[in-house]
Amino acid sequence: METKKQNFVVNRIESLKYAIVGALYLIKTENAIKVHCTSTLLLSILGYFTELSRIEWMFQFLAIGLVISVEALNTSIEKIADFIQPDFDKKIGTIKDVSAGAVLFAGLFGAIIIGFIYIPKLMLFLYQ
């Protein structure tokens, strides 16, 4: 029975290694992911200086995680589509457009969440 448990743990570690390789690939090769990582760093610094509450941190990282995750899925869909059909294809183009639209939705809602967090802080700063 111990062997099954050990295999489960070893398999999870192997899966984590593949996930890290994928994340590093995204960071190294995808400009949009680089922008999101830079935004994450800047928002974290801003959050530190504006003394975000735990709830605000939670929502900020939830929004950031959502946007980066959807961007990663969009990249995956584009890579699969390019592999399946390297030449221009209207249907593949529609699939890619819909995938990019998902990133747009995530980004817009992420921006709204960030706005809910920082606009009141900015207003307090401006009117003090």
**8 A C-beta contact, residue 100 and residue 74:** yes
Predicted pLDDT at 8: 87
Query: In the chain, where are the structural domains located?
Result: 33-126
**What fold is seen in the domain 33-126?**
Helix Hairpins (1.10.287)
**Cα separation values, 63 from 5, 31, 121, Å:** 35, 19, 18
- Residue 103, pLDDT > 80, answer yes
Predicted pLDDT at 4: 63
Predicted pLDDT at 2: 54
